[in-house]
Structure 1
Amino acid sequence: MPLIFAKAGEVNRIKKIGGKDETKHFLNNLGFVEGGEITVISENAGNLIVNVKDTRVAISKEMANRILVSVN
């Protein structure tokens, strides 16, 4: 499921990151890697604050739709 549908506080595992190569590279540099854990901290108007690799990152809902996750 896309990250946008993950519940706050739920630990998820990143299965796939979609989009163009530069988008994938950008997310990879932020710590979004396939197989990594990600937790949604909060949501505001579709935009998310997530915890990835012990760092909080804000991402747009468009970016969150490109990240596919499964519940850990």
Structure 2
Amino acid sequence: MPLTFADVGEENRIQRVGGKPEVRAHLENLGFVTGGSVTVISTIGGNLIVNVKDSRVAISKEMASKIMV
């Protein structure tokens, strides 16, 4: 399922990162790599604040929909 459907506070394992190659590279630079863990901290207007690799990152709904957990 896409990260946008993940429950707040639940730790999820990243199964796949989709999108164009430049989008995938950007997300991987932020720490969204296959097999990594990600936790949704909060949602604001559809956008997400997530905990990935011991840092908090804000990502748009469009970017979050490309991350499968």
| TM-score in terms of structure 2 length | 0.99
Residue by residue over 1:1-44, the C-alpha shift from the partner in whole angstroms, topping out at 9 and shown as x without a partner, is: 00000000000000001100000000011100000000000001
1:54 Cα offset (Å): 0.3
Is 1:59 the counterpart of 2:59? The answer is yes
Q: Which runs of 4+ in 1 moved over 2 A?
A: none
Partner residue, 1:4: 4
Which 5+ residue runs of structure 1 have no aligned equivalent?
none
In 1, the alpha carbon distance for the partners of 2:63 and 2:31 equals 14
Aligned residues: 69
In 2, the alpha carbon distance for the partners of 1:56 and 1:12 equals 15
In 2, the alpha carbon distance for the partners of 1:66 and 1:46 equals 14
1:53 Cα offset (Å): 0.2
Overall identity of the aligned pairs, in %: 67
**For residue 45 of structure 2, what is the amino acid of its counterpart?**
A
CA-based RMSD: 0.3
**For residue 61 of structure 2, what is the amino acid of its counterpart?**
K
